Chain A
Amino acid sequence: MAKNIHICVCCGGGIFTTTVVTEEIESLLRSEKIPYVISPHTITEIPNLTEADIIVATGKTSATNKKGAPVLIGLPMFTGVGKEEFSKLLLDTIAEVSSK
């Protein structure tokens, strides 16, 4: 059975943007039948998110994850502008991470 992909969604306060982006990503992963775990965080936590396979941040950040999880910019999932492109990028990244 495929392993759950763990996605950590990070915004400034872990409240508004994170909630909306998490809901959109969950909807995408359900429709693609990809098993997942998703959790809300703040951008300051990015370096230390050891459980993350992929990190989705809602702002540009130069922070890198100590375990090397890729950091994607997920603001398109908040506003809907560029949502298709971001969805494709996320699914491609999931495929890449899963194949490792």
Chain B
Amino acid sequence: MSEPRMKSDERLVVLGGSFDGSAEVIACLAGLAKDGGFVEDLFIRKVQERETEFPTGLAMPVPLAIPHISDGCIVPFVSIATLASPVVFKSMDLSGDDVFARIVFLFGILDPKSQVAVLQKFARTFANGGNVEKLLGSCTPGALLRELNDILDGLLDVG
């Protein structure tokens, strides 16, 4: 049986957050996921370890980062932070380059095969600067999620 659709909700969205480094952003978003019952403590530790070993910064038209892991995930979800000022993540291409992320998407993914369609839509969204700018311009967490789900053709379960 395929797993449920990827979830998000307003409690998983931070607008204009100020953070001192990538670990702090990840801790905040993973903490929100824990509070919402989406992950166990294991996720919080493992997603930080993974970012150190295999970073997830993407030098897209709007630079961003996509920390993700399956360990300790209970329900597939995405949590999102737009940033008041850019936060440095290392590039996913393992070049060692810095990526000055303006938005961070943190994913918990159980069975990636069940999520192919939404993951593909996300990948295309990341490369589309206009779409990401629309998310950055959102005034409320609800507005950001509505905008995002429009871009993803409604594949996200936003409750």
Contacts and interface: CB of A to CB of B under 8 A. Distances in A.
Interface string B29-71: 0000000000000000000001001111010100000101110
A78 B123 contact: yes
Nearest to A42: B54
Contact of B56 (A12, A23, A79): A12
Contacts of A59: 54, 92-95
Interface residues of B, number: 27
Contacts, number: 65
B94 A61 contact: yes
Given A78-B123, A79-B123, A80-B127, A15 B69 contact: yes
Interface stretch (B79-87, B113-121, B139-147): B113-121
Interface in A56-80: 58-61, 73, 75, 78-80
Contacts of A11: 54
Contact of A16 (B93, B94, B112): B112
A12 B115 contact: no
A60 B54 contact: no
A39 B94 CA distance: 21
Contacts of B58: 79
B11 interface: no
B127 A16 contact: no
A61 B44 CA distance: 27
A19 B92 contact: no
Interface of A: 11-13, 15-20, 23-24, 40, 43, 58-61, 73, 75, 78-81
Interface of B: 50, 53-56, 58, 60, 66, 68-70, 92-95, 107, 109, 112-113, 115-116, 119-120, 123-124, 126-127
Question: Which 6 A-B pairs give the minimum distances between C-beta atoms?
Answer: A12-B54, A59-B94, A19-B112, A79-B127, A60-B94, A20-B123
23 contacts: A12-B53, A12-B54, A13-B50, A13-B68, A13-B70, A15-B109, A16-B68, A16-B119, A17-B92, A18-B112, A19-B113, A20-B120, A24-B120, A40-B112, A59-B54, A59-B93, A59-B94, A59-B95, A60-B95, A78-B123, A79-B124, A79-B126, A80-B123
